[in-house]
Structure 1
Amino acid sequence: MRGLIIALMVLSASVQGADLRLDIGPGSRDWSSAELLAHPRAQRIEVGEDVSYKRSMSYRAVPLAALLQGVGVEDHLQAVASDGFAAELPAALLLGSSGAVAWLAVEDPARPWPPLAPNKPSAGPFYLVWTNPAAARIGPEQWPFRIAQIRRLAPLAQRFPQLLPARNAGKQINAGFAQYQKHCMACHRLNGAGDSRFGPDLNIPHNPTEYFAGDFLARYIRNPQSLRRWPQGRMPGFDQAQLSDSELAQLLDYLRHMAQRKVKAP
């Protein structure tokens, strides 16, 4: 019965369409599915290697830059999904019109997208997709789906100082902090800091560098299912194209460093 109720709720939402909240300052507003599908910049795009569907997909989409009125390249944005996923996104990446281009794919209630997996909903109603993502090395965490809100926020260092390495940490660890922001913050918190409600905290009570022996943490990041086969596991693997060996080493050094900088969660 519960499964039937959920299915009916999903069907009802798909028929009625949805609203996207843009909280970006003077350009803030709510956009309905119908408004976005009829947007003058909306067009049909082809995504050759869709991160979520693992195949080629076709979408009606709007260039995200066309919706970000008043947002500057120095700004910081966050896409918040209905399941608690919160992707941190530099505005400069989203405003680019050459190389990698960000698009807001909009699900048509009359032609819903396929489910992401059996008994799961689709990636809609709003999904951030990319054309030519390799040009900017766009990672899988930068393809948020089921987006409910996009908001402009203060830089991470101001919002969450408990994420910062020590001032004398050095280039390797600071580079690892940048990798953490790109690849980990959409799902995880660290020292209680972050907006995601998706995955566990990576420092409290224990840092994964404290309980993964040898090279097992690196292997886990590359392919989580290679260490423990768990059908419900949602963490993706990060291959060389997404996270090089040197970048992975930077991330691990940052995590080891932060294991010595634990603070109480708020």
Structure 2
Amino acid sequence: MKTDSLLKTILALFALLSMPAGAAQLTIELDHTSRTWQTADLLKHPDAQTVHIVDDVSYKRAMTYRAVPLAALLPGLAPQSHLQAVALDGFAAELSAAPLLEKTGARAWLAVEDPTHPWPALMPGKPGAGPFYLVWTDPQAGPISPEQWPFQVSRIKQLKTVAERFPALLPDPKLAANDPINQGFALFQKNCLACHRLNGAGDAEVGPDLNIPYSPTEYFSGDFLKRYIRDPQNVRHWPQAKMPAFAASVLPDSELDSLVGYLKHMAGRKSQP
């Protein structure tokens, strides 16, 4: 048995060493199937093509990628399913399957970094968006939020919904389904949960908890929280800041009101992790 284990270890190391420098792998775990893709296999995928992104969320300019339609990598996935894209830095984007499976309008692509032609750094002294990056063509047709553009992706996995996994995030169940606070909860999942936890609930490891020990609605006075969400660097500037700005084209004023309303509501529903 020890010989078999040693042989498997040697074979795994040989496979790793035989990969081209800079090559990577992406694991996609669905309830009914699981597969690990190598960079070379994705670059040669029959559906791979050159994709032009007019206004790249991460690079803040036009970019061109070799990419595969994400739907082609999610065989048999139902539109009502839920996925999570996990990045190397702990960013965990919660993604509804339906937009990822669309073939018209806003369309999701897995951009694949060619190790022989690496992508530029996101900023001086920082790595690039590779090895895998979820990008969108015609994102305004979604609309698609900045948090739905996870980069440095290492794993995509099918999970239960956020509400099922993290009941500590739920608003008061007595609220009507169409209450703006419930809409704010949906917006929180789409725009905030990739970086932040709330009441200790969530998988992200990037930003601070948004309710424990204090909600930002408890220490941002006036309209400063809304101004912060619109343009964080305009309110609190520091070089290492990662939070993106949420323009009105992505998060309209009415939705921003609902999101802040949810956070205010949850300030009264604190629960310790």
TM bucket, shorter chain: over 0.9
The separation in 2 between residues aligned to 1:109 and 1:14, in whole angstroms, is: 7
The aligned residue for residue 50 of structure 2 is: 44
Structure 2 unaligned blocks of 5 or more: 1-18
Deviations 1:108-156 (A, max 9, x none): 0000011111111110000000000011110000000000000000011
Give the residue type in structure 1 aligned to 2:99.
L
- TM-score normalised to structure 2 length: 0.91
1:235-254 alignment runs, 5 A limit: 235-254=243-262
Structure 1 unaligned blocks of 5 or more: 1-12
Count of residues in correspondence between the two structures: 253
Deviations 1:20-76 (A, max 9, x none): 010112231100000100100001110001000011100000000000012110100
The separation in 2 between residues aligned to 1:257 and 1:25, in whole angstroms, is: 34
C-alpha contact 1:106 1:125 (8 A) present in aligned 2? yes
The separation in 2 between residues aligned to 1:76 and 1:224, in whole angstroms, is: 29
Q: Structure 1 stretches (4+) deviating beyond 2 angstroms?
A: 13-16
* Aligned with residue 263 of structure 1, among 253, 256, 271: 271
C-alpha contact 1:44 1:60 (8 A) present in aligned 2? yes
C-alpha contact 1:14 1:125 (8 A) present in aligned 2? no
1:212-251 alignment runs, 5 A limit: 212-251=220-259
Deviations 1:150-174 (A, max 9, x none): 0000011110011010012341100
Tell me the SS of whatever aligns to 1:148. strand
* Aligned with residue 160 of structure 1, among 156, 163, 166: 166
Q: Does 1:203 align with 2:211?
A: yes
The separation in 2 between residues aligned to 1:142 and 1:255, in whole angstroms, is: 21
The separation in 2 between residues aligned to 1:103 and 1:225, in whole angstroms, is: 29
Measure how far apart 1:225 and its partner are.
1.2
* Aligned with residue 187 of structure 2, among 146, 168, 179: 179
Tell me the SS of whatever aligns to 1:15. coil
- TM-score normalised to structure 1 length: 0.93
The separation in 1 between residues aligned to 2:272 and 2:101, in whole angstroms, is: 37
Measure how far apart 1:16 and its partner are.
3.5
The separation in 2 between residues aligned to 1:26 and 1:250, in whole angstroms, is: 36
The aligned residue for residue 97 of structure 1 is: 103
Larger Rg: 2
Give the residue type in structure 1 aligned to 2:254.
S
* Aligned with residue 81 of structure 1, among 66, 78, 87: 87
Deviations 1:159-216 (A, max 9, x none): 0011010012341100110110110000000011111011110000110000111111
* Aligned with residue 190 of structure 1, among 177, 180, 198: 198
